[in-house]
Amino acid sequence: MATQPNVRNIIVGAAAFFVSASTSQTGDPVAPLPTLVTATSATTTLQNNASWRDIGYTTNGLELSYEPDFGEIAVDQLLDAARLFKQGQKVMLKTEFAEASLENLFVVMNQTSGYNTVNAKQTTSTSGVDIQGVTNAVEIQGGTLGDYPVERSLVAVGPGPRPASGNNERVYYAARAMSMDASAHGLKRDSGTFFPVSFRLLPVASTSNAYGKIVDRSY
């Protein structure tokens, strides 16, 4: 542990954000973190990996929140609790997608199906409305009672503590993440269209109930 403050530990800057190309509804990890090689940024590795998709620009960076919930045991002789015990927790990751693509909207809506790319485009929507010249499409699905949420894996790569030489980065990996909260966006004449999204992270039983990992690495 440092005995004096170190300005190299002050971090400024946004992160590159990636989602797994595959999804799951089984509660299993969706995509592992790819092997990060020497002298290569994690961003470059992920951009060249077909299992991951770069969602593009974000705005306002990202926010990771760890929210433990403690219960307490009160006794007559104390004015405060005598003991605390952990009874729950929640981990969230929030950001805003600045690129208003339909593929990003599909992720925000946490849908299982209904996204069609230019290679599988439809000229007639399933709602019965003829739409000619479709390049991309998202059908807003109704779903059914008891649907399992769609899970994806997430990776964010941002600046880490500054090294004495070379480059350093901090990598955030979440094995199971799902967009569950309400999300609203607008088309306004004086501002861009952003997709705010909050991902709920869930633990993985096979890794001692870990949610993922955060690592600093040099390259």
pLDDT single digits (tens) 83-115: 999 999 999 999 999 999 999 999 999 887 777
To the nearest 10°, the Cα dihedral for 139, 53, 50, 27?
-70
Q: Which amino acid is at 140?
A: I
Residue 181 is part of a domain; what is its CATH number? 2.30.110
Is 191 inside any structural domain?
Answer: yes
Span 192-198, mean pLDDT? 94
The whole-angstrom separation of Cα 136 and Cα 139 is 10
Domain that holds residue 51: 14-72+82-119+150-218
The whole-angstrom separation of Cα 189 and Cα 130 is 29
Is 163 inside any structural domain?
Answer: yes
pLDDT band at 127 (very low <50, low <70, confident <90, very high): low
Residue 74 near residue 86, CB atoms below 8 Å: no
pLDDT band at 214 (very low <50, low <70, confident <90, very high): very high
Q: Which residues pair with 203 in a beta bridge?
A: none
Residue 42 near residue 33, CB atoms below 8 Å: no
Q: List the one residue out of 40, 38, 47, 39 whose CA is nearest residue 18.
A: 47
pLDDT the model gives residue 120:
46
Span 205-216, mean pLDDT? 92
Span 169-191, mean pLDDT? 91
Is 47 inside any structural domain?
Answer: yes
Q: Token pair for residue 95? A: 């950001």
> Is residue 19's pLDDT more than 70?
yes
Q: How many Cα neighbours within 13 Å face the side chain of 37?
A: 6
* Stretch (H or E) spanning 168: strand 168-179
Between the alpha carbon of residue 202 and those of residues 27, 71, 158, 193, the distances in Å are: 9, 21, 22, 29
The whole-angstrom separation of Cα 149 and Cα 112 is 8
pLDDT tens track for 66-84:
999 999 999 999 999 999 9
Is 141 inside any structural domain?
Answer: no
pLDDT band at 129 (very low <50, low <70, confident <90, very high): low
> Is residue 128's pLDDT more than 70?
no
pLDDT the model gives residue 119:
46
pTM attached to this predicted model: 0.86
Is 9 inside any structural domain?
Answer: no
How many percent of the chain have pLDDT more than 90? 59
pLDDT the model gives residue 64:
95
Span 185-199, mean pLDDT? 92
Is 133 inside any structural domain?
Answer: no
Total domains in the fold of the chain = 1
**Residues across the chain:** 219
* Stretch (H or E) spanning 108: helix 102-108
The whole-angstrom separation of Cα 178 and Cα 194 is 19
Q: Which amino acid is at 126?
A: T
Q: Token pair for residue 137? A: 């499409």
The whole-angstrom separation of Cα 204 and Cα 216 is 22
Higher pLDDT, 102 or 130: 102
Is 124 inside any structural domain?
Answer: no
Q: Which of 114-118, 119-123, 173-177, 211-215 has the lowest mean pLDDT?
A: 119-123
Is 22 inside any structural domain?
Answer: yes
Higher pLDDT, 184 or 126: 184
